[in-house]
Copies of this chain bind each other. A is one copy, B any other.
Amino acid sequence: MAGNTFGTLFTVSTFGESHGKALGCVVDGCPAGLSLDTEDIARDLRRRRPGGGGPAASKRREGDEPEILSGVFEGKTLGTPIAVVIRNTDQRSADYDRLKDMYRPGHADWTWEAKYGLRDHRGGGRSSGRETAARVAAGAVARVFLASAGISVQGWASSIAGIDIPGPGEEGFDVNEAERNPFRVPRKEYDEKINDALEALKKEGDSAGGIVSCSVTGLPAGLGEPVFGKLDALIAGAMLSIGAAKGVEFGAGFSAASMKGSENNDAPFPAEGVETPPGAKALPAGVPSLSFRTNNAGGVLGGISSGMPLLFTVAFKPAASILRRQETAGRRGAGDLVLEGRHDVCIAPRAVPVVEAMAAIVLADLLLMQRCGRV
């Protein structure tokens, strides 16, 4: 598969360079008959927009007005490809002219040239974070489909600049706060501390990393294909396809590596009275409904959803664009580089809707897969 398409039945193709005319996506395989309008997409694009993010955010204004070109008729999806275009309007290419012959540290400038021989030096091109706007647009379509099946995807920043925020089940955790909060953290008390840390880094011309967590609820048991198409394998691939992601873990994750089996195993118990989620196939005849005492597994057993919330966490490196002088190299040899312009100090808050979008795209695909009726 050429690398710009994702999925098997619910597929997403994205296109567009950061400083070209437009970027966009084509979503293929979305079921017919779902209500969908531009605002469903615009809403998620606004959540991704800088400016909600305090000093962490770049001052670029990305208007990001999506236009749906196809696949929707009289407010309903047709089952045909849904093409969405977002015009680029605020690119300031001039900022980038100096970069024509220098490779920015931490960016893909040189590896891109090593692969293709040329690049759009006005920005990261396809490796720019801007490409994720197209993913968020596609993810919004996926979320509409998932919502019709009672499935909800919710992310938040769980660590910023080394400051860890308490997680689900810990005191003060409020996932709705993440929606109101410029840093997408689920506990209001951390605002000021994070703000101070990022302001300090901004003064130094430096940047910070962060961690994004995500929870999916309403997921029926039985999603995920065996062996290579495991639910967690597909989510992991989707997450590491986001530019600055450096790691992913599920449930207890890396900490499970130092646990005992007796601590880590989640005990099953009969879950009488639990209803089949609206989008799910009923369990096959004779298979009982179960639940689990704990969720170290993060909602996935043997690559197949267990009906418990899917929980995973994605590590993001600090933003590569910093304003401090850096050693680097270019087409004409070694040299120092001082970047200018508007850059995010920490991308984690803006990465939240991207993480959600990619998870939604994976799950939409697996939900269709499950419906294909392998039983």
Among the interface residues A22, A33, A302, A319, which one has the most CB atoms of the partner chain B within 10 A?
A302
**Hey, which chain B residues are within 8 Å of A71, CB to CB?**
15, 17, 20
Q: Mark A1-42, 1 if CB is under 8 A from B, else 0.
A: 111111111110111110011111010110111000000000
In whole Å, how far is A98's beta carbon from the nearest beta carbon of chain B? 17
**Hey, which chain B residues are within 8 Å of A235, CB to CB?**
240
Q: Determine the residue in chain B with the shortest Cβ distance to A247.
A: B249
Within 8 A of B (CB), among A107-132: 107-108, 110-120, 124-127, 131
Within 8 A of B (CB), among A193-237: 201, 204, 206-211, 221-222, 224-230, 232-237
**Hey, which chain B residues are within 8 Å of A105, CB to CB?**
265-268
In whole Å, how far is A213's beta carbon from the nearest beta carbon of chain B? 12
A169 within 8 A of B: no
A284 within 8 A of B: yes
Indicate whether A372 sits within 8 Å of B375 (C-beta atoms), given known contacts A2-B9, A85-B85, A257-B317. no
**Hey, which chain B residues are within 8 Å of A70, CB to CB?**
15-17, 20-24
A-B contact pairs, 11 of them (CB 8 A): A17-B73, A21-B67, A23-B70, A110-B306, A112-B226, A115-B224, A206-B260, A209-B264, A240-B250, A241-B303, A253-B315
Pick from A46-54, A172-180, A320-328 the stretch touching chain B. Answer: A320-328
Query: Does the CB pair A267–B78 fall under 8 Å?
Result: no
Q: What CA separation (Å) do A318 and B297 show in the bound complex?
A: 11
Query: Does the CB pair B258–A13 fall under 8 Å?
Result: no
Q: How large is the interface on A (under 10, 10 to 19, 20 to 34, 35 or more residues)?
A: 35 or more
In whole Å, how far is A223's beta carbon from the nearest beta carbon of chain B? 8
Q: What CA separation (Å) do A22 and B67 show in the bound complex?
A: 11
In whole Å, how far is A286's beta carbon from the nearest beta carbon of chain B? 7
In whole Å, how far is A193's beta carbon from the nearest beta carbon of chain B? 14
Q: Which 10 A-B pairs have the closest CB atoms?
A: A108-B302, A3-B225, A237-B237, A247-B249, A3-B229, A117-B284, A162-B258, A207-B261, A2-B29, A372-B372
**Hey, which chain B residues are within 8 Å of A264, CB to CB?**
106, 209, 317-318
Query: Does the CB pair A265–B326 fall under 8 Å?
Result: yes
Within 8 A of B (CB), among A326-375: 326-331, 333-334, 348, 368-375
Query: Does the CB pair A120–B78 fall under 8 Å?
Result: yes
